[in-house]
Amino acid sequence: MVSLLQEIDTEHEDMVHHAALDFYGLLLATCSSDGSVRIFHSRKNNKALAELKGHQGPVWQVAWAHPKFGNILASCSYDRKVIVWKSTTPRDWTKLYEYSNHDSSVNSVDFAPSEYGLVLACASSDGSISVLTCNTEYGVWDAKKIPNAHTIGVNAISWCPAQAPDPAFDQRVTSRSTAVKRLVSGGCDNLVKIWREDNDRWVEEHRLEAHSDWVRDVAWAPSIGLPRSQIATASQDRHVIVWSSNSDLSQWTSSVLHTFDDAVWSISWSTTGNILAVTGGDNNVTLWKENTEGQWIRINYESGTAIQSKQPSHLPHSHSQQQQQAPQQHQQQAPLHPGPSSDSEHSSNLSNSQLSN
Amino acid sequence: MPPTETLRPGERGGAGGSATGGPEQTYIIRQSNKYYEHRDSQATAMSVDYSGQWVLLAGRGHLALQRLGQDDGSLRRHERQSKYEVSVAEFAICPSRKEYCAIATSQYIDIVRWGTSEPHYEMSLRGHTRTVTDIDWHGKDPNLLVSCSIDTFSHIWDLREPRKPALSLNAVCMSGATQVGFNRVSGNLLAAAHDGDLRIWDIRKGSCPTHYITAHLNRVHGINWSHKRETCLATASQDGTVKYFDVCNPRRAEKIITTMSPVWRARYTPIGNGLVSIVVPHLGRGENSLLLWSNSKQTDPICSFVGHTDVILDFAWRPNHESSSEIELVTWSRDRTLRVWKIDDNMLKLCEPSAEEEDSRFEPDLSELRVPTPPELLHPRSILVAASLPISTGDGACNTLPMARSPSFGGYYRREEPHIARSLTDQPTCSLHHEFSLLNTNMPHVEVDTLDAIKRYACFKICAGGHTVILQVTFATSYPSPSAPPEFQLCQGTTLSSEVSGVLLKVLRCNALQRVKKSRTCLEQCLRALVAAMKKKVAAVGGADRSQLHLQSPRLEGALSSTLHDACIPYPRTSGVHFNAIGMLTTFAQPVNNKRLTLRQHTALTPRTFSSINGSGLLGNVMATAQREANASFYLQERMISGKPGKQRAIRQMNGSPVVHIYDTSSLLHISRSMAREFSLDKLNIAETCRKNGELCRQHGRLDLVPVWLLAELIATPQVPHESLNELLFYKDPFKKSLLESLIMHYASSGDIQTAVLLACLFDKCPTGGGAIMEMAVRLPPQLNSQISPYHTVLPLDAKSSSSSNTWQQLKQLRSNSWSDSLDLEVKQVQSDAYACSLIRRVKVPLFDQFKRAYAEILFGWQLLSKRALILKHTQNMPPPIQGVEFVTECGTCAKPKRTPKCEPCKRPVLFCVLCRLPVKGAANACLACGHGGHMDHMMQWFEKHKVCATCGCKCLERTAELLALLS
């Protein structure tokens, strides 16, 4: 069912932390601890089309803007900066804007739905969230900050899709223009918070408590218009929780998607909002789908069928099912999986001894 | 040296004394009862075991045991090999493990069991990454101990499982932990000191501290929990105070003991109501005082233990087995003497609150003793005097200080004027002295030059914003009464222009006045205000670097840097997933060993913080963080330090460089680009179209969809002969309606948006009747539509709106451009009837339109633009946000703005052409200035020949052009 289109050797000199395809699926952007962002053609495994250098630390995440604003990419880094890049041709990238008003590492960036214009939200370890709005006409950026959004730090941020106008009031254009901007954020205080823009201010609308450790990623499901909203959150506590609400977003109910073997730190919804991809510390990528009974089932890459029905006591089963999944995992990781080498152990020991002084 | 005891003559319990009249306070001065000298010992840590028999002296080169109570004075020495000092040694405090002790060296903790002859190293606790600073045994559970370290962690160890900490308390902060202590009553609470702050943990809930206490302005050197009250603890700090806290009320200290010098330790007496503190003198000179305080009186100590000639490194309690009401104090000093002091019943009684009331019975015997002693006479007796004097502060003590203190003891008091001191025994002096003593001498940018409570003036040097100000403040005697603000004077050395000086002085006076109005002290506020004002002045001139100024404040730096700390940054992702807008999935996962390589803790789970990667010497140091930022290769840095230059490359090759995989998941999402390209939406014969689409699904392997299209075909097929002629019958079929709806909803909610949208589009509007017009409309590309009619509706001509201001108002209202307007008459007709002759109920239309828009976005991603346009044509008109001028017509009857040619409630057309006087329904045009207009054709004809308005003579063309130019 899932076909591998391309395998791209990023040639980054250090760990890659995020990779994202643009809207059309033509360009791939990757970011790495080597401080660079690289742009690739998604259909050819060639050398990088461009290497964007501007960060002085590991780059944690990249985000593409909607193509109606042009080829625009945002990146955030440990060096406390957010850089918005713009390209004329895929090889030609220039810094459009640099935002350095955070006091600590910026961990996550996300562009707002295109209906709101060119708006970028940034989450930082200094505990605050910035919302950067670009006046596309003049190219002026305006920053709004939510201070103390999460104590200790904000790890992830995601926009609510542009709300469908309420059918009952659908007669006029006005209902559309008054669509409320919302954000969801997850932080080190184990909380997930929903923020609503209220007269140029961002107010905390909801506070979702269920995780018992840092929330590592949040993702608001894209909406195709159905009167419901879903948010997936991944946490260090090895849980992925899916929060659901009806269209008015007043009540949120949580259901644990699965308890993973290791911390979960990256989740993504498919466009139609019915498939969730999850990965975490164990480096396994799994795909999950909600069945008609509202249960989350893991689906097999190749056949698209369910692998594992979600059971509260999944442990005795999970092992065999893991193995069932294993060949394909193996296939995916095989090229990058050399055995532990004595050399690496050695250098690790060396670094240990460096410490003791 | 035999144990001596010096009791100052006095009434109370054979001890005590007093000075010449006034509210003089005094206290017992004691020499040690026992005394052991170990000249060759270099022990840095000391501990007394449970039984009180043995004292452990631990140093870099040896461990030594001294048996107390037997006067042989010999040590049992055991050599040890270590290049590090022993940072702390603690005997277990539970009887069942009394022969165990924990000795911390560098980042390791050794558990040593004392056998009959020599120590056995039982185990080594390894978990900290930097120097362990303190250890504390659990009071109840003999297996537990806690250790804290510069690496900011506090680890709780269970000796039964020594390989890793039973619990790690991660204080997410910049500064390492310096002190740690278990609660003595319950053992559940634990306090750890990080610089001046305390974190109180509950070990049953180890994820985050239960309380934060901003305890001191400077580093905390000692934490001690009360033996009686569970939530109380005392802290000793560099800032010269001992504070009593109740952790339930972390905002403020319950009591404060203020001394002149940093306090190294403060510990509650195990029995009685006292507390013993070690004061460390500045510059290592004199006054190595060990003081006993009553917990109910903070102004004066009860007793001073004198004898040590150098800094007291540590002290411990030794239970006295003969008498339960007495305890002994064992101290170890840098003068390499171990002293034992008896704290007897009488002294403990003095600590009780009741004993302190009787001030009247003091006698002036102490006065002759308090003759200034030259510091060079350092025989024990003089030390006794010197040590006893400067430590007592507070209101009562301040009178004695100026007299007794020799000039060499610091610049706070001027000894030359003892008579002034005596004459000023009234309250103001004290409060001024009190204010000075409370003044934070570590204010950023402020240097305290002189604080003279006697002469009532103070000098400060303030350097901020590139300028220096020498400020002299003189206090009136009545200060801080409302009428007596202090006087400020800028002295020589000030580098400001007189103009700026004036402004700054004004700032000072304002601030001072505000405070003294309420009879409050004002010095510190004034100084802060001055610094702020100076910064602002300079920032206004030169635009100084704000961030740098911020960082100069130690408090702010603490707050700021704690957020810079890697411990709050999540662990970097080594794998990731990302769906893009058209269902392509990007994944990457880096090899596991690459990750583990840099981990120092081999835990099963991935750690949560970034700091666990390089939780090395760089931790806890902002500067180091900055350096590391500059290093491009991040995780490899350590390896690069260790190895040859080419090594980085080698490692990369070994691990393989990170690979990103791109998957096409569109089939999982039930969307297909190729099918989208071929689907037909031909509405002339819906049944036929359904058949075609079904066939298409079969070709693309979507056999599950074939029956659906079959169903759709059935829906589209008229049941009754000639039904198609009678549309109403066809479209009123309730079964078909609900079947179709549930089909669409099913596919939408199960994620097959493609099928849902195709069905919704196909049955959207009636295929016959308006069909031909629809075709025509469909063929018109939208861009063309908008070109046809730049301005559409026109302002009405009633008198009300012809006044210019009103016109402007209306001009500002935006107007929709329109897609439908150009379709004019017929399409409007079709649309109004569309709901009646559609199988889709009206209430569902907005929802289905959302589906269509979502699908259109996917088509956009696939770059199937014409298909996208086709789908969007089936949505209700949802014009894009308008940019430009919009005309709004107003109904002449109900005076409401209308966007349609006809006012529905009034059943009246809203716009009449000024030329033909007939209602306008289609394209219209009007003058922006006078508002007159009408059918576009008529207007064009008119203005081909004329230049002025047909009605009012306004120069329409020119003025409209002007206004449009203005607007743009």
Which residues in A lie closer than 8 A to residue B598 (C-beta atoms)? 348, 351
Tell me which of B386 and B353 has the higher pLDDT: B353
Which two tokens mark B750?
């199960």
Q: How many other C-beta atoms can be found within 10 angstroms of the C-beta atom of residue B123? A: 15
Taking an 8 Å cut-off on Cβ atoms, the answer to whether B660 and A30 are in contact is yes
Which residues in A lie closer than 8 A to residue B750 (C-beta atoms)? 274, 292
**Amino acid identity, residue B644?**
K
Nearest CB to A28; choose among B560, B660, B671: B660
How far from the centroid of its chain's Cα atoms is residue B219's Cα? 21
Q: Which residues, listed in sequence order, are joined to residue A87 by a DSSP beta bridge? A: A71, A93
Q: Hey, what domains does chain B have and what are their CATH numbers?
A: 432-561 (3.10.110), 566-664 (no CATH), 791-817+883-968 (no CATH)
Which residues in B lie closer than 8 A to residue A263 (C-beta atoms)? 571, 605-606, 608
User: What is the distance between the alpha carbons of residues B276 and B63, in angstroms, rounded to a whole number?
Assistant: 26
How would residue B422 be classed by pLDDT, with cut points 50, 70 and 90? very low
Site from B109, B562, B586 to mutate, A interface, most A CB atoms within 10 angstroms = B586
Q: What is the mean pLDDT of chain B?
A: 70
pLDDT at site A133: 92
Nearest to B337 by CA among B358, B309, B316: B309
Residue B470: what are its φ and ψ, rounded to 5°?
A: -100, 115
Handedness of CA B613, B617, B621, B622 (dihedral sign): negative
Q: In the predicted model, is pLDDT for residue A76 greater than 90?
A: yes
pLDDT at site B822: 39
**Amino acid identity, residue A278?**
V
Which residues contact residue B48 at a Cβ distance below 8 angstroms, ignoring those fewer than 6 apart? B54, B55, B56, B68, B91, B316, B317, B318, B330
Cα angle, residue B469 at apex, residues B467 and B471 outer, rounded to 5°: 170
Q: At what angle do helices B647-655 and A342-355 cross, to 10 degrees?
A: 130
Taking an 8 Å cut-off on Cβ atoms, the answer to whether B660 and A352 are in contact is no
> Closest residue of B to A9, CA-based?
B659
User: What is the distance between the alpha carbons of residues B452 and B414, in angstroms, rounded to a whole number?
Assistant: 7
Which value does ipTM take for this structure? Answer: 0.83
Which residues in A lie closer than 8 A to residue B656 (C-beta atoms)? 335-338
Which residues in B lie closer than 8 A to residue A291 (C-beta atoms)? none
The pairing of strands B467-474 and B43-48 is unpaired
Which residues in A lie closer than 8 A to residue B565 (C-beta atoms)? 104
> Closest residue of B to A78, CA-based?
B629
The pairing of strands B297-306 and B28-31 is parallel
Taking an 8 Å cut-off on Cβ atoms, the answer to whether B846 and A164 are in contact is yes
pLDDT at site A72: 92
Q: Which residues, listed in sequence order, are joined to residue B337 by a DSSP beta bridge? A: B37
DSSP state, residue A71: E
Q: What is the CATH number of domain A101-355?
A: 2.130.10.10
**Amino acid identity, residue A161?**
P
pLDDT in tens, A7-59: 888 888 888 899 999 998 889 999 988 889 999 988 887 788 889 998 988 89
Nearest CB to B584; choose among A25, A265, A304: A25
pLDDT in tens, B591-616: 654 444 444 444 556 777 776 654 33
Taking an 8 Å cut-off on Cβ atoms, the answer to whether B662 and A357 are in contact is no
Taking an 8 Å cut-off on Cβ atoms, the answer to whether A263 and B751 are in contact is no
Alpha-carbon distance B859 to nearest alpha carbon in chain A (angstroms)? 10
How far from the centroid of its chain's Cα atoms is residue B625's Cα? 18
Task: Parse chain A into domains and list their residue ranges.
Answer: 101-355
Site from A9, A10, A16 to mutate, B interface, most B CB atoms within 10 angstroms = A16
- By mean pLDDT, which of B348-352, B456-460, B584-588, B871-875 is the weakest? B348-352
Contact predicate A40/A27, CB 8 Å: yes
How would residue A120 be classed by pLDDT, with cut points 50, 70 and 90? very high
Which two tokens mark A144?
């709004």
Average pLDDT over residues B370-386: 37
Handedness of CA B706, B710, B711, B715 (dihedral sign): positive
Which two tokens mark A50?
């461009």
Nearest to B149 by CA among B172, B127, B131, B168: B131
Tell me which of B868 and B804 has the higher pLDDT: B868
The pairing of strands A191-198 and A201-209 is antiparallel
Alpha-carbon distance B365 to nearest alpha carbon in chain A (angstroms)? 56
- Burial (CB count within 10 angstroms: exposed 0-12, middle 13-18, buried 19+), residue A138: exposed
**Amino acid identity, residue B312?**
I
User: What is the distance between the alpha carbons of residues B474 and B452, in angstroms, rounded to a whole number?
Assistant: 10
Nearest CB to B576; choose among A18, A126, A284: A18
Size of interface A-B (CB pairs under 8 A): 369
User: What is the distance between the alpha carbons of residues B364 and A263, in angstroms, rounded to a whole number?
Assistant: 73
User: What is the distance between the alpha carbons of residues B314 and B688, in angstroms, rounded to a whole number?
Assistant: 97
Which residues in A lie closer than 8 A to residue B570 (C-beta atoms)? 107, 125, 153, 155, 188, 214, 216, 236, 265
Which residues contact residue B676 at a Cβ distance below 8 angstroms, ignoring those fewer than 6 apart? B754, B858, B859, B862, B864, B867
Q: Which residues, listed in sequence order, are joined to residue A53 by a DSSP beta bridge? A: A36
- By mean pLDDT, which of A212-226, B709-723, B946-960 is the weakest? B709-723
User: What is the distance between the alpha carbons of residues B782 and B765, in angstroms, rounded to a whole number?
Assistant: 19
3-state helix/strand/coil string of A309-351: CCCCCCHHHHHHHHHHHHHHHHHHHHHHCCCCCHHHHHHHHHH
Q: How much is the pTM?
A: 0.51
Contact predicate B659/A6, CB 8 Å: no
Contact predicate B504/B471, CB 8 Å: no
User: What is the distance between the alpha carbons of residues A76 and A55, in angstroms, rounded to a whole number?
Assistant: 8
> Closest residue of A to B666, CA-based?
A2
Average pLDDT over residues A260-287: 88
Which residues in B lie closer than 8 A to residue A185 (C-beta atoms)? none
> What is the rounded end-to-end Cα distance, in angstroms, of chain A?
54
Name the region of B583 (left: φ>0; alpha: ψ -120 to 50; beta: rest): left
Taking an 8 Å cut-off on Cβ atoms, the answer to whether A225 and B850 are in contact is yes
Which residues in A lie closer than 8 A to residue B858 (C-beta atoms)? 271
B480 upstream amide cis, omega within 30 of 0: yes
> Closest residue of A to B599, CA-based?
A348
Taking an 8 Å cut-off on Cβ atoms, the answer to whether A188 and B658 are in contact is no
pLDDT in tens, A132-187: 999 877 888 999 999 888 888 899 999 998 865 554 444 444 444 457 889 999 99
